[in-house]
Structure 1
């Protein structure tokens, strides 16, 4: 029994420290999943717009610089980032961007959903783990 309890305590502390970097990983993926040169070409962006996008993508060089800004609200990066992208592109091109790269969905919501997917996966894993433990005791 004690062993299971320790596993749960560890899982608890792990998921808490994991959350912040989950958000950061989503943030990084929002940059690396998309070829921004293609975006600039597809949407026929001006040099100024392209430079602003590149500057936005380079804003936080590492986890620490990102974390300083988002330490207390790690989910806020989505609103900040996509509000900025919309401002740079203008509403019309932002709509084209969403259609082409996010199947028309709001990217903020796309990354919000990812966060919930992580939770579901984690819950299932612990259930499976508990079942195996229970079954292990019967033999």
Structure 2
């Protein structure tokens, strides 16, 4: 019984760690997939706003610093990050940013959708159509 319990705990721990790292990877992509210097220039942000964005991007420089904050709710980083970006940029400039980089969609929804892209339960079977032949009387076989 102890072996079974230990195995279940280890599987749960590794499963959680894998999931946590996926969330962290999404967080890192939200920082690195955008050319922030271009965003700052295009939106004509002030030096103060630029410094705040760079500080936000550097807030969690590694997995451990990010995980200390989001260990119990890894989904929360999305809302935290984009609420903070909106506060820094202002509503109008944030909407311009969102329209350009996320095609007008809420970035939180974009990352939530992305986390489900690799689900194993997606159907991979192809439909097979059977061609039915008719006999000389017009009946299908």
Aligned residue for 1:26?
A: 26
| Number of the residue aligned with 1:76 | 76
Match of 1:6 in 2: none
Normalized per residue, the structure richer in helix is 1
Structure number with the bigger relative contact order (C-alpha 8 A, sep ≥ 6) is 1
Q: CA deviation at 1:123?
A: 3.1
Provide the secondary structure at the position in 2 that maps to 1:117.
coil
Question: What is the aligned partner in structure 2 of residue 133 from structure 1?
Answer: none
Secondary structure of the 1:65 match is helix
- How far residue 79 of structure 1 moved from its aligned partner, in angstroms, is 0.3
Alignment of 1:58-73 (within 5 A): 58-73=58-73
Q: In the alignment, what sits opposite 2:102?
A: 102
The alignment partner of 1:50 has SS state of helix
* Alignment gaps of 5+ in structure 1: 1-8, 129-139
In structure 2, how many angstroms separate the alpha carbons of the residues matched to 1:103 and 1:51? 25
**1:101 Cα deviation from its structure 2 partner:** 0.6
Structure 2 unmatched runs, 5+: 1-7, 126-141
User: When the two structures are aligned, how many residues end up with a matched partner?
Assistant: 115
Shift in Å, 1:61: 0.9
Residue 35 of structure 1 is matched in structure 2 by: 35
Q: 1 CA distance for matches of 2:77 and 2:100? A: 21
Larger Rg: 2
SS at match of 2:45: coil
CA offset at residue 17 of structure 1?
2.8
Given the two structures, how large is their TM-score scaled by the length of structure 2?
0.75
1:28-84 CA deviation, whole Å, 9 max, x = no partner?
A: 000010000000011010000000000000001100000000000000000000000
SS in 2 for 1:28: helix
